[in-house]
């Protein structure tokens, strides 16, 4: 089986990666496009092919000594994270002919981290291939982008999402599969969230909160924010438990195992908050009888990151409720 068939569609990305393997790979790549469309799967598949020697399973489990994976702890990749990567970067391969470095959520690098990484993007060791994975090119400095080969990823077709949902939940009726695929809007991470019973429960609670902004005169932003944060922390706890079970099967140094668990928990919490914000933005409630509409129609072509279509009350809820006391999540839209 072709290694790049592990994720659907993305014909241009697959063409570029196959060409890289057939010729000589570049020293740095930047996978970019919307979240949930296969970038991470592609990065792991590419790393496994670069390493060779039937290493796919070990790369997938992040257990190969010549594959280094970096993800943010919290809302940023900081300079200390890059310094640690750079120390590893100048160690020669342990088993393979190459070493591969995967930086997920690369758009979350702060300025100091990006500057530190730039030094090795300019003059990397001959055996190293660095793969940055980003949901959004905007926050990345042009100096970083210009030193990487860009590999674009696009939103998936509804057909591809339907097929993925049908494979994951074979008991669903075709009409249910089609409805979920439409809600997923071309993203497999959304499809997985819609199929997860715990996520569905959190989503129902979130929609109840979002609608109460408009419908309930007794709306309490602090209480609503706490409910949403509780949902994010629940997801973080689940991710922590799963990561702890995973690291028990791997022979990792204690510090690395702790970092992996912490990254999994914080990443899940951040992703849940981002998902919550997207759900809140998508609510189009009916105003109460006699009340003015709380929703203004969004102008044609308004961007996904825009606040058009939300009343000032809904925006105040986001600022004063959901985000108070918590680092503002960075948008991870078109990674």
Global pTM exceeds 0.75: no
Locus of tokens 């089609």: 178
The residue-averaged pLDDT of 39-64 equals 93
The residue-averaged pLDDT of 110-114 equals 95
> In the prediction, which pLDDT does 281 show?
64
For residue 36, name the pLDDT band (cuts at 50, 70, 90): very high
In angstroms and rounded to an integer, the radius of gyration of the C-alpha atoms of the chain is: 21
**Mean pLDDT, the chain, integer:** 81
> In the prediction, which pLDDT does 299 show?
41
For residue 149, name the pLDDT band (cuts at 50, 70, 90): very high
233 pLDDT more than 60: yes
> In the prediction, which pLDDT does 280 show?
63
Cα angle for residues 13, 16, 18 (degrees, 5° grid): 105
> In the prediction, which pLDDT does 208 show?
79
> In the prediction, which pLDDT does 264 show?
81
The upper half-sphere exposure of residue 124, i.e. CA atoms within 13 Å in the direction of its Cβ, equals 23
Taking the C-alpha atoms of residue 300 and residue 281, their distance in angstroms, rounded to an integer, is 16
CB 167 within 8 A of CB 191: no
For residue 282, name the pLDDT band (cuts at 50, 70, 90): low
> In the prediction, which pLDDT does 283 show?
56
29 pLDDT more than 80: yes
DSSP string spanning 32-81? Answer: ESSTTSSHHHHHHHHHHHHH-SS-HHHHHTT--TTEEEE--BTTBB-HHH
332 pLDDT more than 60: no
Taking the C-alpha atoms of residue 48 and residue 251, their distance in angstroms, rounded to an integer, is 19
- Other Cβ atoms closer than 10 A to 177: 20
Tokens of 163: 């097929």
For residue 307, name the pLDDT band (cuts at 50, 70, 90): very low
pLDDT tens-place string over residues 54-80: 889 999 988 899 999 999 877 889 999
**Can you list the domains of the chain with their CATH numbers?**
3-152 (3.40.50.300), 196-322 (no CATH)
321 pLDDT more than 50: no
89 pLDDT more than 60: yes
73, β-bridge pairs: 76
| Percent over 70 (pLDDT), the chain | 82
268 pLDDT more than 90: no
Least confident of 117-131, 175-189, 300-314: 300-314
| Percent over 90 (pLDDT), the chain | 46
């Amino acid at each position: 089986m072709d290694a790049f068939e592990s994720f659907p569609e993305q014909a241009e990305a697959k063409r570029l990666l196959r060409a890289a393997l057939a010729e000589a790979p570049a020293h740095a790549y930047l996978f970019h496009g919307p979240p949930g469309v296969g970038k991470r799967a592609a990065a792991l598949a590419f790393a496994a092919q670069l390493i060779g020697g039937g290493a796919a399973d070990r790369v997938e489990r992040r257990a190969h000594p010549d594959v280094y994976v970096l993800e943010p702890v919290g809302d940023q990749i900081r300079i200390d994270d890059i310094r640690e990567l750079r120390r590893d970067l100048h160690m020669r391969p342990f088993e393979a002919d190459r070493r591969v470095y995967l930086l997920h959520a690369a758009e979350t690098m702060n300025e100091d981290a990006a500057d530190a990484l730039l030094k090795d993007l300019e003059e990397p060791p001959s055996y190293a291939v660095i793969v940055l994975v980003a949901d959004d090119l905007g926050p990345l400095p042009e100096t970083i982008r210009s030193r990487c080969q860009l590999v674009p990823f696009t939103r998936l077709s509804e057909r591809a999402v339907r097929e993925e949902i049908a494979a994951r939940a074979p008991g669903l009726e075709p009409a249910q599969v089609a409805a979920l695929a439409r809600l997923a809007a071309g993203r497999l991470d959304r499809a997985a969230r819609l199929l997860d019973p715990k996520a569905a429960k959190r989503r129902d609670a979130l929609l109840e909160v979002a609608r109460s902004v408009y419908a309930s005169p007794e709306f309490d932003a602090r209480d609503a924010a706490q409910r949403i944060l509780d949902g994010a922390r629940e997801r973080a706890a689940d991710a922590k438990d799963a990561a702890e079970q995973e690291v028990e099967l791997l022979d990792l140094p204690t510090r690395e195992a702790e970092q992996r668990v912490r990254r999994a928990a914080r990443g899940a919490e951040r992703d849940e908050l981002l998902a919550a914000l997207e759900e809140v933005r998508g609510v189009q409630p009916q105003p109460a009888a006699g009340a003015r509409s709380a929703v203004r129609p969004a102008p044609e072509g308004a961007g996904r990151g825009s606040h058009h279509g939300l009343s000032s009350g809904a925006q105040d809820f986001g600022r004063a409720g959901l985000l108070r006391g918590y680092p503002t999540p960075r948008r991870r839209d078109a990674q």
